């Protein structure tokens, strides 16, 4: 359960790489969101999973307490330093979203890394994202908007942050890049 130097380095590298994706998504998000908004109020949250995957991905690779929180927060912080349009608010977003994923891994005592746990962690991050953003960005939104926003955040978190992160770890493990981690050794034992 203790962090090794290699855990910190790899978690940091994944978080920095994720921050570049976050920064790029900050730019692309407006176009995608403008397509979703007219379909149903609150549906723009369906693309939010792109900001949630760092915590789940780092936790699935490193498998240590605090990994999801660390990965999501560092990715958000670097994204802000790169000059993201949302400024310093992403620091609190990253903290809240990372905590949402972290709590799921904690509920399983950091001992289950199956696909459904990854999906639940993505859902936890999605719920945290929706709750934070409804308070900060959409105070006073009507019930339909809030319901759709939360549901879209949950689905996006489950699919993008949860399932796709789990697939990414399996793909990385196949290359041998994760051989120094339980996540890599576990996959190698099944091959």
Q: In the chain, what are the domain boundaries?
A: 5-190
> Is 39 exposed, middle or buried, given 0-12, 13-18 or 19+ CB atoms closer than 10 A?
exposed
Q: Which CATH class is domain 5-190?
A: mainly alpha
Task: Find which of 22-36, 104-118, 164-178 is predicted with most confidence, using mean pLDDT.
Answer: 104-118
Q: Mean pLDDT of all residues in the chain?
A: 93
Tokens coding 84: 């993201």
pLDDT at 191 over 60: no
Q: pTM higher than 0.85, yes or no?
A: yes
pLDDT tens sequence across 116-135: 999 999 999 999 999 999 99
Spatial contact of 72 and 174, defined as CB atoms under 8 Å apart: no
Greater confidence (125 vs 89) lies with: 125
pLDDT value of residue 37: 79
> Which of the two residues, 191 and 148, has the higher pLDDT score?
148
CA atoms within 13 A on the CB side of 46: 15
């Amino acid at each position: 359960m203790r962090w090794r130097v290699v855990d910190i380095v790899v978690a940091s590298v994944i978080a920095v790489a994720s921050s570049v994706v976050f920064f790029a998504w900050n730019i692309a998000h407006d176009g995608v969101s403008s397509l979703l908004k007219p379909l149903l109020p609150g549906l723009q949250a369906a693309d939010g999973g792109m900001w949630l995957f760092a915590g789940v991905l780092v936790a699935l690779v490193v498998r240590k307490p605090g990994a999801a929180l660390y990965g999501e927060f560092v990715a958000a912080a670097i994204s802000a330093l790169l000059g993201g349009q949302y400024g310093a608010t992403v620091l609190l977003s990253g903290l809240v979203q990372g905590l949402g994923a972290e709590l799921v891994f904690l509920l399983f005592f950091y001992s289950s890394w199956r696909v459904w746990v990854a999906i639940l962690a993505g859902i936890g991050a999605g719920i945290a994202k929706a709750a934070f953003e409804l308070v900060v960005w959409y105070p006073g939104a009507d019930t339909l908007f809030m319901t759709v926003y939360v549901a879209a955040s949950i689905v996006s978190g489950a699919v993008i942050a949860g399932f796709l992160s789990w697939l990414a770890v399996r793909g990385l493990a196949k290359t041998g890049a994760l051989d120094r981690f339980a996540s890599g050794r576990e996959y190698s034992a099944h091959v």
